[in-house]
Structure 1
Amino acid sequence: MSSEDAQTPVVTLLGDAGTYGASGPVAYRRTHISHIFLVGERAYKLKRAVAFAFVDFTALAERRAACAAELTRNRRTAPELYLGVCPILRDSTGVLRLGELMPDGPAEPAAGTVVDWVVVMRRFDEDQLLATVANRGDLDAATVDALAEGVARFHAEAEPVAGGGTAMLAGVVSENDADLRAQPGVFAPTAVDALTRDTRIALARVAGRLDWRAASGLVRRCHGDLHLGNVVLLNGEPRPFDAIEFSDRLACIDVGYDLAFLLMDLDRRGLRPWANRLLTRYLEARDDLGALAALPVFLSLRAAIRAKVGAAAPDADGARLRGLFEAARAYLRPPGPRLLAVGGVSGTGKTTLARRLAPDVGAVPGAVVVRSDVERKKLFGVGETEPLPESAYQGRANARTYDRMLERARAVLATGHSAVIEATFLRREDRRRASKLAEDLGVPFAGLWLTGDPEVLCQRVAARSGDASDATPEVVRGQLQSAPQGPTAWREVDASGDADATEAAARAGLVASSDF
């Protein structure tokens, strides 16, 4: 009898509503490594006694250790969900029963022989999984921002670990190669050859950066499986759960590689604008621009992993899997970096336009948006929506803000990624410095100058709330006095209409620009 066959009585016990004193049915889910039983307000997860290349749960001791680790790993991000563990006990007559909840993890029971362990979770509404929310088209800016900020906090607090770096990712490349070759009916062997070759070339280009990051503590005990299907909304707040607990090799990774799974998942769902916003917001919360250099490799590896895992499923969608595979190849061929500047007085919709254009500028998931208003608040050490005095927008303080914004854009471009810088750019010198930055780095540049009816701009600013900008209608009128009164070297865009019209005009202008 196999180890998993020996679990059959336990599976039968957990599938019986009487085990829990419940009157309703027990819903059942099965994954490649777990049996999951949903009853009432709780979920019970039993580790399957299986062995794969990445995990071996055939021994009870290993399943016990994995249950304890699952509590520890997942209480970092979703403590509300993880209630504890329960032993499965056999009494002296051979009868099985579910033991009492142990909130602090596995411990020796007072009576009975332990035959298995289950992780006990608070049951959640599966309609609140972010994968389901995204499929409904219900993702919104507040949720994406909260997710980005939460992941940034998690990465900042995660335990640094030894190892990782280039050697670990080279192992992933080899594993992907072998697993993809095992599915020749889905992935053409010649295409697998090309993907593996291109991945190794791209990995070699960033090897020094990756090893530096590992030596600098940026390889940490991460989530490891951070995609939309493993994030749930609890009281409206996104909470990652189901982190990898069974393999340090899969969970102890570069924080950028952890983030890349979310970015890839959003991108492949046709939600690149949300992926772009997530990346920009994450980098605002956690200043880790260096990860951008390796992002093409990270994204490619994540797409290849999702493709090979999906191919092993009995109901595999060949077209979807080939799409993932081709994405893995395309991520390794990013366009070169570009710099786009968006200027104009307050109320012209600079931020909205910058966010709309950024996903289509440069490498996936698009350019990092660098806002002067955000950089100013950081410079003064205040919250993004905390107002600053007028002096923060004048003289040396204003110059320091532009210095900070341009230096941040320089750092983004130096990684090979693109940037969109957004500010009023009222002074000719500041506009010149933006184009000079691109010239110095040898990257294409375009500047957009937004204009609009003064009364419309004042009305927009008066209606605005919860934003990093401190502008008021009075500020707008003052800016109009300082704004260029004639044509500038930047392409002028009439922003008097709605956001769609402004975006269309801006895109038309960029298409007409021969050097961008």
Structure 2
Amino acid sequence: MLLRESPARLRLFFDMQTASSEQGLIDFLLQPESYPESPSRIVHYQTHISRVFVGDKRAYKIKKPVNFGFLDFTTLAKRYFYCKEEVLLNSRLADDTYLGVIPIYRKGEHYSFRPLKDSVVAEYAVKMKRIPEDKVLNNLIEEGELLHDRLVRTGEIIARFHLNAPIYKSGPYGGVGTVRTNTEENFEQIAPYRDVIIDEASYARLASYTRDFIRDNHECFAARKKRGFVREVHGDLHSKHICLTKPPIIFDCIEFNKRFRISDVLEDIAFLLMDLEYQGRFDLARAVSHAYFSSFPDAASPDVLRFYKIYRAVVRGKIEGFTADALQHDEEGRRAAVRRAKDYYGLARHYVDDHGDIFNPVVFMGVSGSGKSAIANGLFPDEGVVIRSDEIRKEIAGLSVNRHVYVDYGEDIYGPGMTETTYRIITERAVSLAKKGKRVVADATFLTSLHRLRFFEDCLRETLNPFFVYCLADEETLRERVLQRMKDNTDISDGHIAVLERQLQTMEEPRELPSFRVMKVNTRDKPEIIRGVLKSFL
């Protein structure tokens, strides 16, 4: 959800203690026997404004009695009203997922979903069908699923929703004044984080781009509103709110403030496109974009769309900065929030400075048997150069590339010194060839953050635009591939089962790299299919 509260106010929320009466309600909702469905267990999630209690087949959501300025849930009547709004508004894209608003009764210290004699309504809950987590888009992206066809369908659904949404040609919403207010509020609120989370140069660059764009496109914003592109849309359209069932479910829209829900349709779709690209899925962003604008071509404006993607990335960076502030007693959580904030600001800067630049070089990384070499070979058959670690290593050792050296992990030509030299040469050659205009593919395990970060930083130092494809497969598939490769003896790799086992133990997740530069790919699909997906944006 889109937040615009101050850092102090967000910190205040996280410091609030749960009132004893609210705790009694929470205790009631945590008990499976409290529910009419008698679930086997209850899982509790919360945000700064709501709590969700998830059973086997149903979920119940209550609103916290909070006031952040942009929303006010402080009275039971207000919470009831916004529960009804939530059900009504989400019925637009989630159809029968939202089942209604359910009263929760209290008599003394006892709560119930059924009215008791002399009981009163203590709270209201939105009752929902349980969303299958294994089909939620961001979870599928994390698993490296391709998803192209399903995202095409999603783009079409969003376009149809926008085409039929109520139009706001007058009033305060969606005009250039609102845009300027929102963007200036962003830069005012993130100013204290300069040289802490966002570097001074990026802050200045993003602020100047934003202000210049609004100044130079004042008439464009006004014309878009006059033409009917400001509509009552979703307002919080990202991958955690899309479930790829058949048909897809798009849920959890903004119900509590029209200002966040009424905007240019491009701001709404830009949030999803930015979110997909933040997760390294430029392929899915292109699939959604093509489907959306094929269905709603009149809404297209590449420059305005880019503006809103930058705006949404800055908002998300701001929120993660606030979150980091609130986690001062959770160092691991704080560092993760800072990392996410930096990645969002990095993506915004990428949109400003690298817009339209091709990704080059491209790294294929992953453990033995992950399929990286099968995909890397043939990605750019006519213009590309593939730099493969197996070849470099044997070149250094003076061995034929076809001679196998099956040794223990970290031994012989796979010792630390040889590995360090191999990755240094891979990096030097990739940078040198890319600077000369060659399309470069680097194919190596890149197991450690040290080697990945050195490659990344050397590329940036030479103003290159690197991208990393992180190849994944389940362990059974990895072992089968390694054994089959050894049996066939048609590949130069020296990886064997014992080496694979050590790689799985030592592989470091690529968290040191900007998230938008890393695409996770589950390689269960055929290499030619995966190459086709990659070619859609590389």
Fold conserved (TM > 0.5)? yes
Residue 218 of structure 1 and its aligned partner are, at CA, apart by 1.1
Which of 32, 40, 58 is matched with 1:17 structurally? 32
Residue 506 of structure 1 and its aligned partner are, at CA, apart by 12
Give the alignment of 1:157-196 within 5 angstroms.
157-161=164-168, 162=170, 163-184=173-194, 185-189=196-200, 191-196=202-207
Output one character per residue of 1:135-159: Cα deviation in whole Å (capped at 9) or x when no partner: 1121322201100100001101111
Residue 228 of structure 1 and its aligned partner are, at CA, apart by 0.5
- In the alignment, what sits opposite 2:162? 155
Output one character per residue of 1:158-189: Cα deviation in whole Å (capped at 9) or x when no partner: 11124312111112212211332243432235
Aligned mates of 1:174, 1:96 — CA distance in 2: 46
Which residue identity lines up with residue 343 of structure 2 in the other structure? G
Which residue identity lines up with residue 302 of structure 2 in the other structure? L
- In the alignment, what sits opposite 1:55? 71
Aligned mates of 1:155, 1:178 — CA distance in 2: 31
Give the alignment of 1:321-340 within 5 angstroms.
321-333=341-353, 335=355
Which of 268, 284, 298 is matched with 2:294 structurally? 284
- In the alignment, what sits opposite 1:39? 55
| Identity score, percent | 28
Which residue identity lines up with residue 37 of structure 1 in the other structure? F
- In the alignment, what sits opposite 2:386? none
Do the aligned partners of 1:199 and 1:332 also contact (CA within 8 Å) in 2? no
Do the aligned partners of 1:222 and 1:258 also contact (CA within 8 Å) in 2? yes
Aligned mates of 2:208, 2:281 — CA distance in 1: 29
Aligned mates of 1:331, 1:253 — CA distance in 2: 21
Q: Does 1:214 align with 2:229?
A: no
The change in CA–CA distance for 1:120 and 1:65 in structure 2 (over 3 A counts) is same
SS of structure 1 residue aligned to 2:184: helix
Give the alignment of 1:71-90 within 5 angstroms.
71-90=87-106
Aligned mates of 1:504, 1:270 — CA distance in 2: 11
Q: Does 1:198 align with 2:209?
A: yes
Q: Does 1:144 align with 2:164?
A: no
Do the aligned partners of 2:320 and 2:340 also contact (CA within 8 Å) in 1? no
SS of structure 2 residue aligned to 1:237: coil
Of 167-176 and 221-230, more deviation after overlay is shown by 167-176
Do the aligned partners of 1:4 and 1:58 also contact (CA within 8 Å) in 2? no
Residue 238 of structure 1 and its aligned partner are, at CA, apart by 1.9
SS of structure 2 residue aligned to 1:259: helix
SS of structure 2 residue aligned to 1:164: coil
Do the aligned partners of 1:225 and 1:243 also contact (CA within 8 Å) in 2? yes
Which of 226, 234, 239 is matched with 2:249 structurally? 239
Output one character per residue of 1:425-446: Cα deviation in whole Å (capped at 9) or x when no partner: xxxxxxxxxxxxxxxxxxxxxx
The change in CA–CA distance for 1:48 and 1:504 in structure 2 (over 3 A counts) is closer
Residue 111 of structure 1 and its aligned partner are, at CA, apart by 7.2
The change in CA–CA distance for 1:246 and 1:147 in structure 2 (over 3 A counts) is same
Residue 337 of structure 1 and its aligned partner are, at CA, apart by 11
Which of 298, 308, 320 is matched with 2:340 structurally? 320
Residue 333 of structure 1 and its aligned partner are, at CA, apart by 4.0
Of 307-316 and 117-126, more deviation after overlay is shown by 307-316
Which residue identity lines up with residue 122 of structure 2 in the other structure? V
TM-score (norm 1): 0.61
Of 16-25 and 40-49, more deviation after overlay is shown by 16-25
SS of structure 1 residue aligned to 2:193: coil
- In the alignment, what sits opposite 1:343? none
The change in CA–CA distance for 1:3 and 1:337 in structure 2 (over 3 A counts) is closer
Which of 268, 276, 289 is matched with 1:266 structurally? 276
Which residue identity lines up with residue 197 of structure 2 in the other structure? V
Which residue identity lines up with residue 25 of structure 2 in the other structure? V
Tell me: higher relative CO, structure 1 or 2? Use CA pairs within 8 A at least 6 residues apart: 2
The change in CA–CA distance for 1:295 and 1:110 in structure 2 (over 3 A counts) is farther
Aligned mates of 1:94, 1:504 — CA distance in 2: 59
Extract unaligned runs of 5+ from structure 1.
Answer: 101-108, 339-355, 358-497, 509-516
Of 161-170 and 224-233, more deviation after overlay is shown by 161-170
SS of structure 2 residue aligned to 1:258: helix
Give the alignment of 1:386-405 within 5 angstroms.
none
- In the alignment, what sits opposite 1:305? 315
Do the aligned partners of 1:218 and 1:254 also contact (CA within 8 Å) in 2? yes
RMSD of aligned residue pairs (Cα, Å): 3.2
The change in CA–CA distance for 1:187 and 1:99 in structure 2 (over 3 A counts) is farther
Residue 336 of structure 1 and its aligned partner are, at CA, apart by 7.5
Which residue identity lines up with residue 258 of structure 2 in the other structure? D
Aligned mates of 1:500, 1:8 — CA distance in 2: 50
Do the aligned partners of 1:36 and 1:44 also contact (CA within 8 Å) in 2? yes
The change in CA–CA distance for 1:146 and 1:197 in structure 2 (over 3 A counts) is same
Which residue identity lines up with residue 320 of structure 1 in the other structure? R
Which residue identity lines up with residue 69 of structure 1 in the other structure? E
- In the alignment, what sits opposite 2:86? 70
The change in CA–CA distance for 1:279 and 1:507 in structure 2 (over 3 A counts) is closer
Residue 507 of structure 1 and its aligned partner are, at CA, apart by 12
Do the aligned partners of 1:86 and 1:99 also contact (CA within 8 Å) in 2? no
Aligned mates of 1:39, 1:505 — CA distance in 2: 42
Which residue identity lines up with residue 122 of structure 1 in the other structure? K
Do the aligned partners of 2:105 and 2:120 also contact (CA within 8 Å) in 1? yes
Residue 219 of structure 1 and its aligned partner are, at CA, apart by 0.8
Residue 503 of structure 1 and its aligned partner are, at CA, apart by 11
- In the alignment, what sits opposite 1:115? 122
Residue 94 of structure 1 and its aligned partner are, at CA, apart by 5.5
Output one character per residue of 1:18-76: Cα deviation in whole Å (capped at 9) or x when no partner: 21152622111011111110122110001011222422222222211110110111000
- In the alignment, what sits opposite 1:252? 262
Output one character per residue of 1:76-109: Cα deviation in whole Å (capped at 9) or x when no partner: 0001210001112224x55322248xxxxxxxx9
SS of structure 1 residue aligned to 2:96: coil
Residue 207 of structure 1 and its aligned partner are, at CA, apart by 2.1
Output one character per residue of 1:248-278: Cα deviation in whole Å (capped at 9) or x when no partner: 1111111010000111011111111221121
Aligned mates of 1:24, 1:3 — CA distance in 2: 29
The change in CA–CA distance for 1:217 and 1:179 in structure 2 (over 3 A counts) is same
Extract unaligned runs of 5+ from structure 2.
Answer: 1-15, 328-332, 359-378, 381-527
The change in CA–CA distance for 1:335 and 1:504 in structure 2 (over 3 A counts) is closer
SS of structure 2 residue aligned to 1:58: coil
